[in-house]
Amino acid sequence: MKKTVLAAFLIMVPLVCLAEPLRMGISSRVPNTNEEFLQTTIQTLKNKFGPDNVKVTYYSLKGLEEAVKAGQVDFMQSSAGMYRRLLPEGVRDLVALSSPRYPDPNQSEGTAFVTRADRTDLQTVKDLKGKILAANSPTGFSGYHIGMHEISKKGYDPEKFFSKQIFVGEEHRMKHVLEALKNGTADVGFLRLCYFEDMLEKAGYKKEDFKIIGDRKSNRLACSHSTSLYPSWTISITPKISPAQARELLQTLLAIPPSSNGVRWSPASDYHSVDTLLKDLKLGPWAYLREWTLKRFLNEYWPWIMLLFVCITGLIAHVIRCERLIKIKTAQLSKAHKKHTKVLHQAEEANSRLESLQKMGAVGLMSGMLAHEIRQPIASIQLYGRGIQRIIDGGVGAIKANAED
């Protein structure tokens, strides 16, 4: 009834006249129960803008990325991971998928780690280290990147965690993940949220043959999953679309009534978890982290670079200070040395004078002693001479006196 009323309403509403058709790009995706709603979305857009005014093209994940970069897409439907990877190209989100099973459009996508039920050796994520992985595509968001990010958050290097990775392909080839598990080609497989509940039996497999490792299933979210949750499929616009067309597109998408199972388009307000995933896995805007460029080196090690700069600056300052102190100490030592040399010279001169004085004193002492020794016999001789002279003088006088008598 609702679809009939909507169709009648769209017929009554004048079609938007466009100079050129809107080009919608759709990425490849694994089959699920939301496929019918996506086809309803495309038909609604054609009814709104005119069948010839909406051109829909299906791309591979890599093909859609190249088409956006080449300016060949006006708006696109893709995973949240693909949308955020194209942010540098000016892509901006309009709406994301939500449903009663995952009503929060910010948390409506995840990945289940699936293995055979008889693998008793595989109980936790830690047990998967060194095993063989089967996934859809190395560029798949829910089928690969979300699972690898969960491994990264556990503290492991996702690029070295598995011994081998097998990629079965996109779209309907997702069932080959289960086939690889069944025949033992792989030990664990990554399946997008709700594939285990909705598509496993349709692919010809029994649920009891498999188990979910680290299942976080709860009453809030009815599907099994082993990872954190992220925004689901997103419709986003590129810079090629005009603001008026973007407004008409947003109004049309939000006006689409929910599908029979409650799926609808809702605005998503938080893609931070997706950005963290891309940064940790070095994808999209952070792909440069895989290359050792100067920019990456500076971004990666700037705290250590700053610490090294501070240490070098401190070392240079210490060397300059030491050189200055050495110059001061050298000048002081040179001055002290000169003073000491002068004192030694003065002491040597004093010693020399002292020695001269001592020599002169010794000569004087010897001279005095010699003079003393010489004066004594001379004095004695003089005394004896005088005595003899007196005797002589006295004898002559006596002789003269006797003669006169």
Check which CATH number belongs to the domain holding 124 and give it: 3.40.190.10
For residue 405 the two structure tokens come to: 């008598």
Is residue 200, in this structure, part of any structural domain at all?
Answer: yes
Say yes or no to pLDDT of 72 above 90: yes
**DSSP SS3 for 29:** coil
Instruction: Check residue 90 and report its DSSP letter.
Output: T
Q: Is residue 203 part of a domain?
A: yes
CA distance 153 to 161: 12
Read off the pLDDT of residues 237-266 as tens digits, 9 standing for 90 and up. 999 999 999 999 999 999 999 988 889 999
Q: Please indicate, yes or no, if residue 116 is contained in any of the structural domains.
A: yes
**Are 222 and 122 contained in the same domain?**
yes
Shared-domain flag, residues 99 and 175? no
- Helix pair angle (243-255, 35-49), 10° resolution: 130
191: which strand partners? 112
Of 270, 290, 310, which residue sits at a domain end? 290
Residue 227 above 90 pLDDT?
A: yes
In a domain, 385, yes or no: yes
Candidate ranges 30-34, 160-164, 193-197, 257-261; pick with highest mean pLDDT: 160-164
Query: Is the predicted pLDDT of residue 374 greater than 90, yes or no?
Result: no
Q: Check if the beta carbon of residue 146 is closer than 8 Å to that of residue 108.
A: no
Beginning with the edge strand found earlier in the chain, give each strand of the sheet holding 54-59 in spatial order. Answer: 54-59, 22-27, 75-78, 234-237, 92-98, 264-266
Please indicate, yes or no, if residue 244 is contained in any of the structural domains.
Answer: yes
Judge whether 403 lies within some domain.
no
| 375: pLDDT strictly greater than 50 | yes
- Cβ neighbours of residue 253 closer than 8 Å, sequence gap 6 or more: 41, 94, 95, 235, 265
Both tokens assigned to 112: 């289940």
Could you report the per-residue pLDDT of 261-298, keeping only the tens digit for each? 889 999 998 999 999 999 999 998 888 777 777 776 77
Token digits for 245?
């067309």
**Residue 282 in tokens:** 């070095």
Domain limit, last residue, from 212, 228, 244:
228
One domain, residues 18 and 89 = yes
Residue that finishes a domain, picked among 265, 290, 315: 290
CA torsion through residues 35, 36, 37, 42, sign:
positive
Which residues form the domain of 263? 2-107+232-290
What string of DSSP letters covers 231-253? ---EEEE-TTS-HHHHHHHHHHH
On whether both 165 and 253 belong to a single domain, the answer is no
Q: Which of 278, 240, 280 shows the shortest CA–CA distance to 92?
A: 240
Q: Is the same domain home to 7 and 102?
A: yes
> Can you tell me the distance from the alpha carbon of 157 to that of 149, in angstroms, rounded to the nearest whole number?
10
In a domain, 400, yes or no: no
Q: Which of 112-116, 187-191, 328-332 has the lowest mean pLDDT?
A: 328-332
Do 306 and 363 reside in the same domain of the chain? yes
According to the model, what pLDDT value does residue 395 have? 65
Q: What Rg do the C-alpha atoms of the chain give, in angstroms?
A: 55
Whether residue 342 lies inside any domain: the answer is yes
Mean pLDDT, residues 347-355: 82
User: Do 349 and 318 belong together in one domain?
Assistant: yes
- CA-based nearest residue to 47, from 338, 252, 244: 252
pLDDT tens sequence across 302-337: 888 889 999 999 999 999 999 899 989 888 888 888
Say if residues 192 and 204 touch (Cβ distance below 8 Å): no
The helix (run of H) or strand (run of E) holding residue 259 is none
What's the pLDDT score for residue 6? 47
Chain centroid offset of residue 244 CA: 42
Tell me: do 100 and 238 sit in the same domain. yes
Number of domains in the chain: 3
Based on the fold, state whether residues 314 and 349 are members of the same structural domain: yes
Q: 139 and 61 in contact (C-beta within 8 Å)?
A: yes
0.85 exceeded by the pTM? no
Strand stretches in 20-69, DSSP E: 22-27, 54-59
CA distances from 293 to 29, 152, 299, 309, 317 (A): 34, 23, 10, 20, 31
238 and 103, same structural domain? yes
- For residues 311 and 343, membership in a common domain is answered with yes
Same domain, 261 and 302: no
Residue 402 has pLDDT above 60, yes or no: no
